[in-house]
Amino acid sequence: MLAELFEYKFIVNSLLAGILASISCGIIGTYIVTRRMVFLSGGITHASFGGIGIGYYFGFNPVIAAAIFAVFSALGIEFLSKKTDVREDSVIGILWSLGMAIGIIFVFITPGYAPNLMTYLFGSILTVSTLDIILMAIVSVVIILIFIFFYHTILFVAYDQEFAQTHKLPVNFINNLLISLVALTIVLNIKVVGIILVISLLTIPQSIANLFTNEFKNIIIISIVIGLIGALMGLLISYQINIPSGASIIFSLVIFFILAKMFQIIKHKILLKINA
Amino acid sequence: MKKLVELKSVYAGYNDEVILTDVSLDIYDNDFIGIIGPNGGGKTTLLKVILGLIKPYKGTVKFYTNDTHKRNKIGYLPQFNKIDQKFPIKVIDIVLSGLIFGNKLFFKYSKSDYTKACDTLKRIGISNLKDYPVGALSGGQLQKVLLARALISSPRLLILDEPNTYVDNQFEGELYKILEELNNEMAIIIVSHDIGTIASYIKTIACVNRSLHYHKSNKITEAQLASYNCPIKLITHGEVPHTVLSKHNH
């Protein structure tokens, strides 16, 4: 059965998308979770819908339009919350809904029916195009290189910005670079699981990994592996019982999380018994 | 005595609100200054000005560090409630981060950096915590790790922002002993809400309440504090027996 599956290009593409998604989300998600930027990331995700709408209306690639839109909203949130005295979470809330509103307006005024719209909201790993794969691969490679070469600087700015500032580290540059990578990662993974679900790819593997390790590097590695298993399992379930792939990937990940948590509790109880 | 830092009629604050007005202060190489003052009086603002985290609206901050050997200017121990205690990082990595400087993105540790980090941990008496994740540490242990991070670069000036909050008396005693020793090598500035316990270790007292009054002794009376416009109660906590404050003269 599996051999025959690989003959279809869309199956190969969706497998590649799953691998690339687990790499980029594994690394960037670890940054998001440890910096407690989950809400910010949710804001960027939804704001990017504005870019998708604009892309639709003007007839260019919605993913690229969304990427540009997301990076600017991310930098905008950084700037507004730092330079003005508006609360950061309020800024996020405003941009979150503004982006969605722009998206809805542009999709509405676009003549004709927008058949792929649901793809962006709920994701469809099976319709990932070769261009999507190329973009995802580029971003993944960039992220890997940046995290390999700048690892210590990124880690210390993330851990204690003020201290990093007293040591004259390029704190603003690092923050802006990373927030842009967060935006790009989110947008390029929207095709895989959709706007509504993408945040889970950035948080569930990390939460599982964090049960077993307390080191930034290890969280990244374990998250990538867990993300990969989740994506493959989700795809298989989606194919077998014919349900949307995005939802089945998230479902697999949540089941892993529950199993991991149960494993940890049982292990704890056994250890207590041995010691007692 | 060599002058390290000179603040000249500094005005500073946040968001266009002036908190510190006309503050001048000279810091010398063997100083041990205790900064006291009411909350919101500008203690942390003063530290941030010295650390270069905020630029003064008016006035100058000047460093006199023309020595040839490579030493960091300032070691900083922030208030530890500002630090995320769930961040996945090991003790040794936190200490090593004290060696990263300058406008660089790429950084790699040498073997001697690692040895230095181990030595610094040993000096503070927490070698056993080397590979602990930060989440497993107690408040006092984390303070010591942060102190090691501040010390690893052998700074000329050590700045501690309320290192004695949320820690037990035993830790406080240990901390002051370490600081007393360190004072032979560097100037120390310590912010404390509890002047009673630090009084016997510090050499001078700076009262900060919008403006700064420098008291060149570690003995101070409530009457003097009042005249400095620095309404602080002189109390000691628990059993730490280091109160050397003068009583009222009436």
The CATH number of the domain holding residue A164 is: 1.10.3470.10
Nearest by CB to residue B106, choosing from A36, A85, A150, is A150
Nearest to B100 among A153, A173, A216 (CB): A153
* Average pLDDT score over residue span A131-148: 96
Question: Quick one: pLDDT at residue A4?
Answer: 66
Q: What is the number of structural domains in chain A?
A: 1
Instruction: Give me the mean pLDDT over the B38-61 stretch.
Output: 91
User: Quick check: B239 pLDDT over 50?
Assistant: no
- Better-predicted residue by pLDDT, A276 or B153: B153
Q: Do A168 and B83 touch (CB under 8 A)?
A: no
B31 pLDDT more than 90? yes
Distances A170 to A76, A164, B100 between C-alpha atoms, Å? 19, 8, 11
Q: Does residue B106 sit at the A interface (CB-CB below 8 Å)?
A: yes
CB contact under 8 A, A166 and B15: no
CA distance A162 to chain B (A): 8
The radius of gyration computed from the CA coordinates of chain A, to the nearest angstrom, equals: 20
Asked if the Cβ–Cβ distance from B51 to A169 is below 8 Å, we say no
pLDDT value at position A213? Answer: 93
Q: What is the mean pLDDT of residues B206-231?
A: 77
pLDDT in tens, B114-144: 999 999 999 988 999 999 999 999 888 899 9
Residue B176 has pLDDT above 80, yes or no: yes
Please report residues of B whose CB lies closer than 8 A to that of A155.
89, 93, 97
Q: At what angle do helices A38-58 and A9-34 cross, to 10 degrees?
A: 140
In the predicted structure, residue B242 carries a pLDDT above the cut 60: no
Q: Is the pLDDT of residue A40 over 60?
A: yes
Lowest-confidence region among A115-129, A223-237, A240-254, B11-25:
A115-129
A220 lies within 8 A of chain B by CB? no
**Measured distance CA(B199)–CA(B243) in Å, rounded:** 7
**ipTM of predicted assembly, 2 dp:** 0.85
Q: To 5 degrees, how large is the angle CA A185–CA A186–CA A191?
A: 105
B102 confidence band (pLDDT: 50, 70, 90): confident
Q: Do A152 and B102 make contact, defined as CB atoms within 8 angstroms? A: no
**CB spacing of A168 vs B90 below 8 angstroms:** no
Closest CA to A35 of A272, A206, A271: A206
Domains identified in chain B and CATH numbers: 3-85+155-227 (3.40.50.300)
If you average pLDDT over residues B54-64, what whole number do you get?
Answer: 90
Of the given ranges (A41-55, B9-23, B55-69, B131-145), which has the lowest mean pLDDT?
Answer: B55-69
Residue A199 has pLDDT above 90, yes or no: yes
Residue B243 has a pLDDT of 44
Q: Which candidate from A155, A162, A214 shows the least CB-CB separation from B133?
A: A214
The pLDDT, as a whole number, for residue B240 is 39
Distance from CA of B228 to the nearest CA of A (A): 30
A5 pLDDT exceeds 80? no
Residue to mutate among A30, A81, A85, A152, with most B CBs inside 10 A, is A152
Taking residues A18-32, report their average pLDDT: 96
Confidence of residue A120 (pLDDT cuts 50, 70, 90): confident
Contact between chains at B97 and A158 (C-beta distance less than 8 A): no
Residue B82 DSSP code: G
Q: B139: closest CA among B180, B169, B183?
A: B169
Percent of chain A with pLDDT strictly greater than 70: 96
Sequence-distant (≥ 6) Cβ neighbours of residue A206 within 8 angstroms:
A26, A29, A30, A32, A33, A34, A219, A223
Which 162-201 residues of chain A touch chain B by CB within 8 A?
A: 162-170, 173-174
Interface contacts (A, B; CB < 8 Å) = 87
Q: Specify the pLDDT at position A3.
A: 65
- In B, which residues are within 8 Å of A218 by CB distance? 88
B3-14, strands of its sheet edge to edge: B17-28, B3-14, B58-63
Is the pLDDT confidence value at B107 over 50? yes
What is the pLDDT at residue A6? Answer: 66
Q: Give the residue from B48, B39, B38 showing the smallest Cα distance to B12.
A: B48
Q: How far is B244 from chain A (nearest CA, A)?
A: 34
Site from A166, A171, A216 to mutate, B interface, most B CB atoms within 10 angstroms: A166
Virtual CA dihedral for A51, A56, A62, A65, nearest 10 degrees?
Answer: -40
**Chain A contact for B91 (CB, 8 A cutoff):** no
Residue A106: band (very low, low, confident or very high) from pLDDT cuts 50, 70, 90: very high
CB contacts, 8 Å: A152 with chain B = 96-97, 100, 107-109
Q: Which of B164, B159, B217 is nearest to B187 (CA)?
A: B159
Query: How much is the pLDDT for A230?
Result: 95
Closest in A152, A210, A218 to B100, CB measured? A152
For residue B249, what pLDDT is reported?
43
Q: Residue B146: pLDDT band by 50, 70, 90 thresholds?
A: very high
Test A163 with B78 for CB contact under 8 angstroms.
yes
The encoded tokens of residue A20 equal 């690339």
User: Are the Cβ atoms of A152 and B107 closer than 8 angstroms?
Assistant: yes
Of B212 and B249, more confident:
B212
Residue A53 has pLDDT above 80, yes or no: yes
Whole-angstrom Cα distance, residue B26 to residue B31? 10
Nearest-neighbour CA in chain A from B9: distance (Å):
22
Lowest-confidence region among A10-19, A169-178, B112-121: A10-19
Amino acid B248: pLDDT: 43
CB contact under 8 A, B100 and A210: no
Asked if B51 lies within 8 A of A166 by C-beta distance, the reply is yes
Shortest alpha-carbon distance between residue A196 and chain B (Å): 27
Confidence category of residue B103, pLDDT binned at 50, 70, 90: confident
Q: Please, which pLDDT band fits residue B238 given cuts at 50, 70 and 90? A: very low
DSSP assignment string, chain A: -HHHHTTSHHHHHHHHHHHHHHHHHHHHHHHHHHTT-HHHHHHHHHHHHHHHHHHHHHTS-HHHHHHHHHHHHHHHHHHHHHHSSS-HHHHHHHHHHHHHHHHHHHHHHSSS--TTHHHHHH--GGG--HHHHHHHHHHHHHHHHHHHHSHHHHHHHHH-HHHHHHTT--HHHHHHHHHHHHHHHHHHHHHHH-TTTHHHHHHHHHHHHHHH---HHHHHHHHHHHHHHHHHHHHHHHHHHT--HHHHHHHHHHHHHHHHHHHHHHHHHHHHHHH-
CB B159 within 8 A of CB B77: yes
Mean pLDDT, range A104-130, rounded to an integer: 83
Domain holding A29, by residue range, is 2-275
Best-predicted range by mean pLDDT among A102-111, A134-143, B92-101, B200-209?
Answer: A134-143
Say what the pLDDT of residue A255 is: 95
- Between A199-208, A223-232, B76-85, B146-155, the lowest mean confidence (pLDDT) is in B76-85
Q: What is the pLDDT of residue B112?
A: 93
Report the C-alpha gap between A182 and B236 in whole angstroms. 49
Judged against a pLDDT cut of 90, whether residue B217 lies above it is answered with no
Of the listed ranges B27-41, B186-200, B236-250, the least confidently predicted one is B236-250
Distance of alpha carbon A169 from alpha carbon A262, whole angstroms: 42
